[in-house]
Amino acid sequence: MSVVDFLRPEGWLGESGGPRYVQLRQRLESGIESGVLAPNSSLPPEREIAEITELSRVTVRKAIQELVREGLIEQRQGSGSFIRERMNRMEQSLSHLTSFTEDMARRGLDTSSRWLERGVFLPTPDEVQALGLADGAEVARIYRLREAGGRPMALERASLPLDILPNPLEVTTSLYEVLGRREVRPVRAVQKISAINLEPREADLLNVPEGAAGLSIERTSYLPSGRVAELTRSLYRGDAYDFVAELRL
Ligand code: 16G
């Protein structure tokens, strides 16, 4: 069914259905739900919706504004309103030390990485401190955009001491798998999670609007000896993840 036919007022707009902007909002919601209004497609301009539905532009605007607030529609300056692609939020347990590849495989999703940086570098003071690097030691660093099921999920920058990961190019899919093979896979980690707004470049890579909410996660992982094996700073899309922690008395 075309969007125009879908919006014709016959059958859904009536005296008894409550405020008209609510009826229109519900109609648009059901269009998004059923896919008549497809993700990333543009919504007809207000003026056109007003004509098709025979509602006033004020009413149309009010309905659209509610959908913007609900996050179903995104207004892009100069180019109108678009149906936002909806993410099924994922629940991620905070009690298991698993890798991104393993987490996604458990959900039946394939992962891929877009490499932003991978190699041996001079460490930053933060890396020296967190990884306990000796004077003059270099650091292995891998920075990638992590995708699952073809969608960008997180930006992840991992830093490791060179004796733990001498050749960062060896990591083609899973870092933890490479560490496992080398028998230096971490067994414990501490994570710090904070809320952030994504900077323009990060938002662009993650395919969300500039300033969108994100989660910044810093993971420090340890070997059985207590030595730090990895410092990873990740930025997760705020609309994609729920982190869940189980608490016991
Ligand atoms: C997870 C970890 C990250 C680790 C990566 C390894 C969080 C917040 N971060 O994304 O620290 O480096 O897994 O994944 O959970 P990989 O083995 O698939 O490369």
Between the CA of 221 and the centroid of ligand 1 the distance, in Å, is: 10
Q: Is the pTM of this model over 0.75?
A: no
* Structural fold of domain 90-244: Chorismate lyase (3.40.1410)
Between the CA of 99 and the centroid of ligand 1 the distance, in Å, is: 4
Question: Using 50, 70 and 90 to split pLDDT, how confident is the model at 143?
Answer: very high
| Protein residues whose CB sits closer than 6 Å to any atom of ligand 1 | 99-101, 156, 158, 174-177, 217, 219, 230, 232, 234
Average pLDDT over residues 206-227: 93
Q: What is the CATH number of domain 3-83?
A: 1.10.10.10
Ligand 1 pocket mutation pick from 97, 111, 156, 194 by most atoms within 8 angstroms of CB: 156
> Cβ(192)–Cβ(218) under 8 Å?
yes
The residue written with tokens 């930006």 in the block is 155
Q: Tens of pLDDT along 9-34? A: 998 998 888 899 999 999 999 998 88
Pairing of strands 139-148, 151-161: antiparallel
Residue 108 has a pLDDT of: 84
> Cβ(240)–Cβ(217) under 8 Å?
no
Say which range, 88-92, 101-105, 143-147, 222-226, has the weakest mean pLDDT.
Answer: 88-92
The residue written with tokens 């497809």 in the block is 38
The residue written with tokens 């659209």 in the block is 64
Alpha-carbon span 51 to 42, nearest angstrom: 17
Ligand 1 pocket mutation pick from 234, 237, 243, 244 by most atoms within 8 angstroms of CB: 234
Residue nearest to atom 4 of ligand 1 (CA): 99
Alpha-carbon span 215 to 241, nearest angstrom: 9
Domain positions in the chain: 3-83, 90-244
Provide the b/e sequence for 197-211 (b: ≥16 CB within 10 Å): ebeeebbebbebeee
Question: Using 50, 70 and 90 to split pLDDT, how confident is the model at 66?
Answer: confident
Question: Using 50, 70 and 90 to split pLDDT, how confident is the model at 76?
Answer: confident
The residue written with tokens 């209004």 in the block is 37
User: Alpha carbon of 187 to those of 143, 148, 173, 197: distances in Å?
Assistant: 22, 24, 20, 31
> Cβ(222)–Cβ(229) under 8 Å?
yes
User: Alpha carbon of 43 to those of 21, 38, 137: distances in Å?
Assistant: 16, 9, 55
Q: Tens of pLDDT along 168-194? A: 999 999 999 999 999 999 999 999 999
Which amino acid, residue 80? Answer: G
Q: Indicate the Cα dihedral angle 169, 174, 149, 74, nearest 10°.
A: -70
Describe the crossing of helices 57-70 and 20-34 by its angle, rounded to 10 degrees: 50
